[in-house]
Structure 1
């Protein structure tokens, strides 16, 4: 039986592979399969999830997620019948899944907890039911549910059968100063829409025809400035820290990172790829040779690769010693288009180790703004002097 102190602790955790908050009770008695299948899908995803440690996964019902604040206790008017729940899940899920449902009075309100211990995976249904499809393995990715790919399913079997040695690696998201972000990105970002940037006017010399003849005037200035402002105001910058808590050195390591928000892939750049503030009067328009060489060298160290059809940031590490923590030397610039939780999917690979997946989330506030050329000129005047 779950204890009150466990509930106290779980309230402060973020939704992820090991915990899910549900404000309202599941509609197990509904006559509509689509509504009843929501419960089935959530239980399958939590049972199949990749999570650290040997503890169970929890679905806390009667709680409203308020991350980074503790979850709000909203309470329930009705409880699930455990016998009916066991029969419903047991008649559909293969292989047999162990879980339990418990009723509690917590802070004066009725709540429910579904506990799902770690066990051999994968779990699935042989016959489609509502929104749950047959022979599909559902997993948790951050605070959402997704379908596992064949690679993940194979690793579930290998991991649960003990075919791979286990590496204890943790991942944290930091701000650019190295402080933990705690699941929320502080300053709101602005997603500027300048329309077709290539249609912005070319810059004419503010001085004389002599400047133009020398090539001092940067004719692409307004277009470069629009891109610079889009990146400066729109980027959510985060650095990644890895910690090796195992007793063995991890070698030939690789971390792959992609990001999603509201089901859409979020654009990711490394911070050294962000455009510098352009100059209107530049004898050498564009990047100089040394800057080009610097970026080329960094791309070899921290490349963007296409992995599984997705544009993926890759960090390669020769060795991560026992007890050692390493922070990626460059920040990732994420470009969300709307407010919400950015779901970061990271996969850590090392020689002779099974893959480890991480799915931290980062809540961001985004203000969308449309700007014409006159507004761009105003934004230029608001920039700090160089």
Structure 2
């Protein structure tokens, strides 16, 4: 799906061989062949255009060159992608790869047609509407014309000579070393329902009688549960650093990685951005100052994890890659195996110039004990951080937390 950042960038780009603005929606449903052929012609012309990356037809945008295109939206009929795919590919040779989508942008409904760079030329198998059989329509600049026989021959030669994309995928750990194929981890499991709320009571001696009362300082009542989550995640964490180098003689546009982690038994593996891993818990209540990743969802993140389906999918957007250029994911990928066993990291590589996704896999054998822990074990884990390296510390906050833990 085309994101807001891409559409905003295209708004500021003038019409050309790879971009066409259309103010009004195309006539399609229940219309005559003559009317529908206008849409078909524009798709064919864009598909045959001389360009290095994908072509875009943006509907609901008013061209205002030299100013950014105005978003006017579409309010008429809505077109279904499946119906348009069937319509185009029942009349065009060879099979044309494209995508149609309708979405909200700048508060208005717009339509986007994306046509990846692919083997040309495309043409009709028979006359349709105002279009002729075997005529190759091509977009030149901001206009559409019929290609000459020499142009048609050159299209085939150019695309053949360009060759297949050559890419190099790198999967490393957080130390920039090749990601190992075997890991020794510990799988800690807590009964979170059996963990109490955290309380930091104050003891006061009044007239020889010790009274216990709640601390006047607000505390994090989820401290124990946060600690259990933190330690169970940290003990089974695998971090992967992903990058892609374009070894082709041409640019790759809209390069993207889709990452999944597969288990032999089909179980789901949790994946997330390393920056979204749970932080070491604080016994003090900092909820008023806590900033969660959700607060930044309005920003266009270039690495996201979609866990709504049967398996989590990590999407890494790398953008356009020049020949020889390396694109790196903006954050490491955190992989959390569910237990010992074999795992397979599968990466699908996509770009406007890659007709079919390139798939690479990295196998991992994970071993290690599974430990069931209770509240007493958890307190021992969390107390260890104060005892290790803090023997000489006299911080009041440290002493208070250590006393509370004991």
TM-score (norm 2): 0.49
Q: How does 1:304-323 map to 2 (within 5 A)?
A: 304-305=305-306, 309-323=310-324
| Secondary structure of 2:186's aligned partner | strand
> Are the equivalent residues in 2 in contact too, given 1:266–1:334 (CA < 8 A)?
yes
1:189 corresponds, among 185, 188, 191, to 185
Quote the residue 1:326 is aligned against: 327
Quote the residue 1:205 is aligned against: 200
CA distance in structure 2 between the aligned counterparts of 1:300 and 1:172, rounded to whole angstroms: 21
| 1:268 aligns to 2:271 (yes or no) | yes
Cα distance, 1:171 vs structure 2: 1.6
Quote the residue 1:179 is aligned against: 177
| Secondary structure of 2:376's aligned partner | helix
TM-score (norm 1): 0.51
Cα distance, 1:254 vs structure 2: 1.5
In 2 relative to 1, CA 366–331 (structure 1 residues): closer, same or farther, beyond 3 Å?
A: farther
Cα distance, 1:294 vs structure 2: 6.6
Quote the residue 1:363 is aligned against: 365
| Secondary structure of 2:279's aligned partner | coil
Q: Deviations over 1:100-151 (max 9, x none)?
A: xxxxxxxxxxxxxxxxxxxxxxxxxxxxxxxxxxxxxxxxxxxxxxxxxxxx
> Are the equivalent residues in 2 in contact too, given 1:347–1:356 (CA < 8 A)?
yes
| Secondary structure of 1:252's aligned partner | strand
> Are the equivalent residues in 1 in contact too, given 2:268–2:310 (CA < 8 A)?
no
| Secondary structure of 2:282's aligned partner | coil
| 1:376 aligns to 2:381 (yes or no) | no
Cα distance, 1:182 vs structure 2: 4.3
Computing the radius of gyration over CA atoms, which structure comes out larger, 1 or 2? 2
Cα distance, 1:292 vs structure 2: 4.3
User: In terms of mean alpha carbon deviation, does 376-385 or 266-275 score higher?
Assistant: 376-385
Cα distance, 1:183 vs structure 2: 2.6
1:222 corresponds, among 221, 224, 230, to 224
| Secondary structure of 2:227's aligned partner | helix
Quote the residue 2:239 is aligned against: 237
Number of matched pairs = 218
CA distance in structure 1 between the aligned counterparts of 2:171 and 2:384, rounded to whole angstroms: 31
> Are the equivalent residues in 1 in contact too, given 2:303–2:329 (CA < 8 A)?
no
> Are the equivalent residues in 2 in contact too, given 1:337–1:368 (CA < 8 A)?
no
CA distance in structure 2 between the aligned counterparts of 1:193 and 1:279, rounded to whole angstroms: 21
Cα distance, 1:181 vs structure 2: 2.2
CA distance in structure 2 between the aligned counterparts of 1:253 and 1:234, rounded to whole angstroms: 30
Quote the residue 1:250 is aligned against: 252
CA distance in structure 1 between the aligned counterparts of 2:308 and 2:348, rounded to whole angstroms: 11
Cα distance, 1:212 vs structure 2: 4.0
CA distance in structure 2 between the aligned counterparts of 1:200 and 1:370, rounded to whole angstroms: 14
Quote the residue 1:278 is aligned against: 281
CA distance in structure 1 between the aligned counterparts of 2:289 and 2:339, rounded to whole angstroms: 31
Cα distance, 1:210 vs structure 2: 7.7
In 2 relative to 1, CA 327–275 (structure 1 residues): closer, same or farther, beyond 3 Å?
A: same
| Secondary structure of 1:226's aligned partner | helix
Quote the residue 2:341 is aligned against: 340
CA distance in structure 2 between the aligned counterparts of 1:237 and 1:171, rounded to whole angstroms: 16
Q: How does 1:1-386 map to 2 (within 5 A)?
A: 166-185=164-183, 188-195=184-191, 197-207=192-202, 212-215=215-218, 217-263=219-265, 264-282=267-285, 284-285=286-287, 288-289=290-291, 291-292=292-293, 296=297, 300-305=301-306, 309-354=310-355, 355-383=357-385, 384=388
Cα distance, 1:278 vs structure 2: 0.7
Q: CA RMSD in A?
A: 2.8
| Secondary structure of 1:318's aligned partner | strand
